[in-house]
Amino acid sequence: MDKKYKRYLKLNIMSLFFTGVSFISITLAWFAYSGLATVDTVINVKAWQIEFKKGENKQDSLINVTLNDVSPGMQVKSEVININNLGDDDAAIDYEIKSARIFDDVITASSQEELEDILSHNYPFKINMSLSDRHANAHDGTGEFTVSVSWPLDSGDDKSDSDWGKKAYDFNKTELDKHNADNTYQIRPSISIAISLKAEQYLSTADNADPEFKLGTIVLYDYKNNVKCTAVSTTCIKSYVIDTNNKIGDTKVTLLPDLYNTYSEPVVYENYSTAYNTVTSGWTVTKEGLKVEHILPIISRDVINSVMMRPPKSSEMIGNLNYSTRLTNYITSTINQNGYYRFLNAQFPFLTTSKCYWLDTNYSSTHQFALKKVDEEFSKVYNEDKTTKCSVIPVAKVDKIKLKVQ
């Protein structure tokens, strides 16, 4: 063979060899980085399986919420999607509204938070959604995604109810007329919302939910010595996490002492400050009185049962309160309507107590917000006369690093 061709063949063989080595090196490096390579080169591939179910039926991750008949006084319409993590990795759960149409109007907004707020509060009917948990443990983690649509019989604005009721009638009539003129025409529902449920491998990044501090998690804490403790005592108090979405990047967690414990004798509201100072004497943590602003973001997560009562008007769903100044504005609106809030005991047992507790949020010159169980089914956040005697309870902001110490 000609020397020139032998040299060419040799170079190509060497090139192929180095190329092969390069691919092998990259592959092994990827396995090593992914934690999939072992000493004996056995590769273990983790399973990823997130299941969405509506009742007993499996559900696609894209949910289409449609409603044909909407009118004042309609029963609450709701859908619940159960989320099950059957895989080998923890999952981060979230959702995104892909599109929203009400009658002929396509709803747009600058952010998902604003879009949810519009659907929840800008119409006499309320469209709300809620995710029970943004983290699902590997193998057995669960959660629920809920959507509800409601329209109080009397929103308090008769003209608005009448105008929107006419819009609903006109839209449905027009759709039916189009179908009658052309039987191939598909009648559109009055309300149509496309929502994408998202499940991704959980990473311990700052914006992800902290699985150690989920809402309602029990914590034993000594507020005087500012340390985690192991057995309930006069200084070691059973408490609950009341942050609705504590994140990895958060340095503190909000704790509510057990409402069934006794911290002070009941007092009229005039003596609230004195009782509060007595209860928290010696505490070395950041603290404040329990407020409506602590409770409302919690109970509003139940978009089927948590309502604002407005006698003699019908109740309305509390709904989403996360956007901008919505929480403050909603409390003001409640006071202006002489309203109060009602929620299910079973949903929020750490907020349920037969005692009356003062809340550090003013209602009027003669009344103060308070928390109390109504009966075995419901509790309420309501306007209590300031001459009534109620107990006092603080909440504490605790450094998370102190709770992670074993």
Q: Block means of pLDDT (10 residues each) for the chain, length 406 residues?
A: 46 39 33 36 71 92 90 91 96 97 96 98 95 96 96 83 90 96 96 96 96 97 97 96 98 97 95 97 97 98 98 94 97 97 98 97 98 98 98 98 81
Q: How far is CA 327 from CA 214, 217, 296, 319, 359, in A?
A: 21, 24, 8, 10, 16
Q: Is residue 183 helix, strand or coil?
A: coil
Report pTM.
0.88
Q: Is 19 helix (H, G, I), strand (E, B) or coil?
A: helix
DSSP state of 13: H
Which phi and psi (to 5°) does residue 194 adopt? Answer: -105, 125
SS3 252: strand
Q: What is the pLDDT of residue 405?
A: 62
Quote the pLDDT of residue 240: 98
Residue 125 identity: F
Residues in a beta bridge with 382 = 370
Report pLDDT for 69: 82
> What pLDDT sits at residue 199?
94
The stretches of 68-157 forming alpha helices (DSSP H) are: 112-121
For residue 5, what pLDDT is reported? 44
**Sheet containing strand 236-241, strands side by side:** 227-228, 218-222, 236-241, 252-257, 394-399, 286-289
Identify whether the C-beta of residue 144 lies closer than 8 Å to the C-beta of residue 136.
Answer: no
Examine residue 312 and say whether the peptide bond preceding it is cis (omega within 30 degrees of 0): yes
| 8 Å CB contact between 253 and 195 | no
Q: Integer distance in angstroms from the first to the last C-alpha of the chain?
A: 75
Residue 151 Cα to chain centre, angstroms = 22
Q: Where are the beta strands (DSSP E) in 13-140?
A: 50-54, 57-58, 62-67, 77-85, 91-102, 105-106, 126-131, 135-136
Contact (Cβ atoms closer than 8 angstroms) between residue 320 and residue 146: no
